[in-house]
Structure 1
Amino acid sequence: MKHWLTLFIFMFTINAVSAQEKALIQFSGVIYNVDSNVVVPYVTVTNKSDRDRVFAANYQGYFSFVAHEGDTILFSAVGYRKEAVVIPSKVPEKSYTVIVKMKARVVNLPTVTVLPWASVDQFNKEFMALKFADDDLEIAKKNVTRTSLLAMARDLPRDGMEMQGVNFQNNHVRLTNRAINQRYANPLLNPFAWGSFIQQILQGDKRRSDSN
């Protein structure tokens, strides 16, 4: 038991000495896209040497935090390959600035076929109950049936050409009737009046013959 306790104290002392030997520095930088030189915002920055402490770059790709000399810093972002930077030892002025360039990663996803049915049996059931629409010829035949034409003539309003034809026909009939009435306004020029007059004369001669 004393042996394990001594070993634990020894390891703890070594880690403490090693931590004291690593100097603290201000680690800063900007992250760019290596292909377009555009900043990559909100990149996750992880210090792998300091218990995986996580930091984040801002919307301009800038980051800054305290780290130790010799720490390994990992940069990761969605759609980009991971990049790692090792802080060198004996950094002057206790400040270290880097420019990190990340490369976009192209991921080819497998083809996904989206089906509107949950299973093949349901597809077969829906397919057997499917009602196919009529083709163009059948639709045209239904549109020119007597019932369809009467319904359209009753419900659909007349267009400009139809209204023009109807007005022309009505005007023609009205002008024709006016001309006939004006022509036969004089009874002497009216053949119907002459026919009625001759008929009255014949009926009068017949009565005279019967009385004699």
Structure 2
Amino acid sequence: MMTTKYFLALFLSFLALTTMAQEESDIVEVYGLILTKGQSAQYAYVPFVTVAVKGSTRGTYANYEGMYSIVVKKGQTLSFSAVGFAPRDIVIPEDINGMYHTLTVEMEPAEINMEEITVFPWPDRNNLAAEFLAMQPNRAGQLEAIAKDNLDKKQLLAVANATDMDGKESSIQYLRQQASDYSYQGQQAPQSIFDPIAWGKFFNQWQKKKRTPKEEQMIKILEGENGN
């Protein structure tokens, strides 16, 4: 009976190690440079390119010199995107030998075609004011309403929250987080609850606050109890 249990435990351990080894063999670190060909036919670095694993929430970004590094599974797809360049999707080969794979990516500049517009300058401000006042009242009201909606704080905040950070913003956020981690490395970050200055500001704001009748009544009751 003991021999059977021993062989069963040994078999399960071997099966677990085999599964872990197989999973580790599927993982590879992909690194390299992201370049683009300039007008002089010479290659230049593309900084702060977003590198994402397609179909997942994992990703990273290239540094200022276009260098990147990310750990993925063989067969997954990497998406490279940057403002002003056409996005690229590259599938990581499944027949890679080893745990490292070099991948140099060339980004193509994206051409944005805009509709042709004609700008008519006015001779002076007086003519501009006269033409503006001569506009139809309904049209002027519509333009004013559109301008107010576009400049509304809630609208601007909603657009900002719905817009993803680009490579530069991501790098700034990452560097700030690193600086914060290094500043408090080996010790706990300070807590505002133990800060006497923060408590002083809190009490000052609380004293300036306009009290409700119920609060005034409670304060009088407490003062009377303390007096007794």
Is TM more than 0.5 here? no
Report the TM-score range of the alignment, normalised by the length of the smaller protein. 0.3 to 0.5
Higher RCO, Cα 8 Å, sep 6+? 2
Radius of gyration: which is bigger? 1
**What is the TM-score with the length of structure 1 in the denominator?**
0.43
**What is the TM-score with the length of structure 2 in the denominator?**
0.41
